[in-house]
Amino acid sequence: MTRRDFIKTCLLGLAGLGASKLFSGCRPQAGSNSAVAAEAPAGAPGSGQGIGSSPAIKKKQVTPPCDIAVAEGEDIAATTVAALGAYGGLEQFVGKDDKVVLKPNLAWARTPEQAANTHPDVLTAVLEELQKIGPAELVVVEHPCDSAEVTFELSGAKQVCAQHNVPLICPGSEQMYTQVNYPNGKTLKSDGIITQIVESTVYINMPIVKVHSATVVTVTLKNQMGSIWNRGAYHRTGLQQCIADAATGLQPTLNIIDASRVLLTGGPKGPGTVEKPGELIVSTDMVAADAYCCGLLGKTPQDVSHIMLAAEAGVGTADVNSLNIARVTA
């Protein structure tokens, strides 16, 4: 199933986070094999109502000690923590007053071993590091391609979020998105973005590294398509340019990239050939991160139009040789 074939509706359960009501799961409708979305009440977090059209999202600026941090190791959680440490730690990005949203790749009904989704151990490590800081709000969001109920279960994300008492949100209703303007976009001038991301103070993008049948590779830039409502518009109007346009306005505070194992064939869903570089990569620069990750897939940045288009738009640098890369072993 492609992203254009996404089952657009899913039934969301409510979960409490402090005094706020957030959507934290998807369940099939009783007596049906289909799924529908429960809508947020008007004005509630995630409702997208009463907000109007937002400007391009602006997140806090941090100057890390290097352009990219790369950790290598067999223990995925420990390698994640090592990569974060090499980049200066999450404390420079997150405080106790922050509203933190994590956006992993949980698009496909695949197991962790099949390398189609962000590994649950990466999600575990990041949640535990964040909970040590204790931000005001912490949620995980994804607009999956396959059934959310099946995908969240098979990927391991549902279990991880339940264990850490963190809402896992499937925004299956258009009311749960907020329109964001992209004044620097060439083709894409605005987009409906998951409202929790728009309202966040810290947005962390957590993709997995893999090949993609339509875009050559998918890493940080492409992973943001899981944050939007109308993915079909990208395919109709120029997929690669739209991905780059989105990056001009939708820019994560931080990117934590799962290359513990990578999908070399059959992407984005697989099954396919899986290799295990055992790497976790951290960067604030989506273009630089994606350019680096191309090498793990036997590609170059020049092979991937949306990387080069985003670089031309000033989102980041695609010249891997110019990057200051810190490497550590977990």
Q: In whole angstroms, what is the distance from residue 73 CA to residue 61 CA?
A: 29
Which pLDDT does position 13 carry in this prediction?
Answer: 35
Domain boundaries, position 68: 55-140+177-329
Total tally of structural domains belonging to the chain: 1
Instruction: Report residue 55's pLDDT band, with 50, 70 and 90 as the boundaries.
Output: low
pLDDT at 60 over 60: yes
pLDDT digits (tens, 9 = 90+) for 240-284: 999 999 999 999 999 999 999 999 999 999 999 999 999 999 999
DSSP, res 229: S
Average pLDDT, the chain: 86
Asked whether residue 18 is domain-assigned, the answer is no
Q: Say which amino acid occupies 159.
A: Q
Which pLDDT does position 279 carry in this prediction?
Answer: 98
Asked whether residue 110 is domain-assigned, the answer is yes
pLDDT at 24 over 50: no
pLDDT at 45 over 80: no
Query: Strand pairing of 137-141 and 168-169?
Result: parallel
pLDDT digits (tens, 9 = 90+) for 134-143: 999 999 999 9
Q: In whole angstroms, what is the distance from residue 198 CA to residue 330 CA?
A: 34
pLDDT at 234 over 50: yes
pLDDT at 44 over 50: no
pLDDT at 28 over 70: no
Which pLDDT does position 27 carry in this prediction?
Answer: 35
Alpha helices in 200-238 (DSSP H): 220-223, 232-237
pLDDT at 12 over 60: no
Which pLDDT does position 1 carry in this prediction?
Answer: 44
Which pLDDT does position 187 carry in this prediction?
Answer: 95
Asked whether residue 25 is domain-assigned, the answer is no
| Mean pLDDT value across residues 88-110 | 97
pLDDT at 218 over 50: yes
Asked whether residue 293 is domain-assigned, the answer is yes
Asked whether residue 40 is domain-assigned, the answer is no
Asked whether residue 30 is domain-assigned, the answer is no
Q: In whole angstroms, what is the distance from residue 99 CA to residue 123 CA?
A: 17
Q: In whole angstroms, what is the distance from residue 197 CA to residue 139 CA?
A: 10
| Mean pLDDT value across residues 149-175 | 97
Asked whether residue 164 is domain-assigned, the answer is no
| Mean pLDDT value across residues 133-156 | 97
CATH code for position 211: 3.40.50
Asked whether residue 70 is domain-assigned, the answer is yes
